[in-house]
């Protein structure tokens, strides 16, 4: 493999720390963590950043797992690089050489000796994105490296000591992959020492509008368009949409909206959210119903959604619903405990107990 080809193949797999640094402004790199659930996550990241133990980041697509991994590295105090490898894009035949390196002549095409990603991340963090996609044969080798803290390049016998913090991310349920025989249980336990769960955007409604404003700023700057504002209807639409593609979808929606906005105003039609114009109408109708104090409608909606959940119940359904109710009330009340307690019809003490249980405030 020539040097240029090697570099090119690396670039496809790697997201270098400053890949877009020439176009990204300080604002573009900023994180938004406004919702209490996100603030709790931020605190968790900062608490575990300095440990050397592996971290497993789970969350739906587009929730910000890579951003969390980068923040973890920035806060770790580790001087080496943040090296990101997309395990889903690693060709199976090259995965071992890419990760662990190889000696010249160790296989056809290996014309020169090369260090693998593990060595490149020495003193820093190796981010294994989509770790669930690693072939089983590589999983065994990865486990060994994590246990021994040394790598052996293909074609070499000499182990090389490495000091690398491994952070893995997945949007599939690895415990299910273990049951299905697609992921090694021992590796799963090894990676799952510290677990960070990035909630879907719909579970942290307090982030939606701050993120929308943030992306407006980023894309206004990048596209050199005039400043644009969201109409109240557009804001309501964003707030009520389900966001299956999470933050990445929100980012794309704002980008597109800026391109079609007229006279600096973003209206619902500029957002082009699937089925969302009707959703706004439904939301407006249900707001109107709530205002006329017919409590029945929203509770009926919840009952219907529960029936859907019961047909394929997630684990710990009751606990998750309780967490959802508490976190939504807390966000709705702008993190005001008295007000959130009033919304739920419970005492402030009872609320505090729940907030602690769900890590929405730090235990004292």
In the complex, the residues that contact Mg ion under the rule CB under 5 A are: 66
Residues from 21 through 50 that contact ligand ATP (CB under 6 A): 31-33
Cα within 13 Å of Cα(249), Cβ side: 19
In whole angstroms, how close is the CB of 340 to ligand ATP at the nearest point?
23
Helix (H) or strand (E) holding 138: helix 136-148
Residue 360: name its binding partner from Mg ion, ligand ATP, none (Cβ under 5 to 8 Å by kind): none
Q: Are 289 and 297 in contact (CB under 8 A)?
A: yes
Our CB check for ligand ATP shows the closer of 131 and 162 to be 131
Nearest-CB residue to ligand ATP?
Answer: 64
Which residues have CB under 8 Å from 282's CB, separation 6+? none
In whole angstroms, how close is the CB of 244 to Mg ion at the nearest point?
16
The residue assigned the tokens 């900062």 is 46
Our CB check for ligand ATP shows the closer of 61 and 353 to be 61
* Number of separate helices (H) and strands (E) present in the chain: 18, 9
Decide: is 331 part of the binding site for ligand ATP (CB under 6 A). Answer: no
Decide: is 251 part of the binding site for ligand ATP (CB under 6 A). Answer: yes
CB atoms within 10 A of CB 64: 24
Q: Are 198 and 64 in contact (CB under 8 A)?
A: yes
Residues from 202 through 221 that contact ligand ATP (CB under 6 A): 214
CA 114 to CA 27: how far, in whole Å? 37
Residue 78: name its binding partner from ligand ATP, Mg ion, none (Cβ under 5 to 8 Å by kind): none
Our CB check for ligand ATP shows the closer of 222 and 248 to be 248
In whole angstroms, how close is the CB of 59 to ligand ATP at the nearest point?
6
Closest CA to 137 of 176, 93, 180: 93
Judged by the rule CB under 6 A, the positions of this chain that interact with ligand ATP are 31-33, 59, 61-67, 171, 214, 247-248, 251
């Amino acid at each position: 493999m020539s040097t240029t080809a090697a570099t090119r193949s690396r670039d496809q797999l790697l997201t270098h720390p400053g890949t877009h640094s020439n176009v990204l402004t300080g604002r573009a790199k900023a994180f938004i963590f406004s919702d209490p659930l996100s603030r709790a996550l931020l605190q968790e990241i900062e608490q575990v950043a300095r440990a050397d133990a592996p971290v497993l980041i789970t969350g739906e697509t587009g929730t910000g797992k890579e951003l969390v991994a980068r923040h973890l590295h920035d806060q770790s105090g580790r001087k080496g690089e943040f090296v990101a490898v997309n395990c889903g894009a690693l060709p199976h035949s090259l995965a071992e050489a890419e990760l662990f390196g190889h000696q010249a002549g160790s296989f056809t095409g290996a014309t020169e000796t090369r260090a693998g990603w593990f060595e490149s991340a020495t003193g820093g963090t190796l981010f294994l994105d989509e770790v669930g996609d690693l072939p089983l044969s590589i999983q065994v080798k990865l486990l060994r490296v994590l246990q021994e803290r040394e790598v052996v390049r293909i074609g070499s016998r000499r182990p090389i000591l490495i000091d690398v913090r491994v952070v893995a991310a997945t949007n599939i349920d690895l415990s299910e992959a273990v049951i299905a025989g697609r992921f090694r249980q021992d590796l799963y336990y090894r990676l799952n020492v510290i677990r960070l769960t990035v909630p879907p955007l719909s579970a942290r409604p307090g982030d939606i509008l701050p993120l929308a404003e943030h992306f407006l700023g980023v894309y206004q700057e990048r596209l050199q368009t005039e400043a644009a504002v969201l109409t109240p209807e557009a804001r309501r639409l964003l707030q009520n949409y389900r966001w299956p593609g999470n933050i990445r979808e929100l980012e794309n929606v704002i980008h597109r909206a800026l391109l079609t906005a007229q006279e600096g105003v973003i209206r619902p039609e500029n957002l082009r959210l699937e089925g969302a114009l009707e959703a706004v109408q439904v939301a407006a109708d249900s707001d109107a119903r709530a205002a006329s104090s017919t409590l029945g409608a929203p509770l009926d909606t919840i009952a219907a959604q529960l029936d859907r959940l019961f047909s394929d119940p997630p684990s710990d359904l009751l606990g998750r619903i309780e967490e959802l109710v508490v976190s939504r009330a807390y966000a709705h009340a702008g993190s005001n405990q008295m007000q959130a307690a009033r919304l739920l019809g419970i005492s402030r003490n009872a609320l505090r107990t729940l907030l602690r249980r769900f890590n929405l405030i730090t235990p004292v």
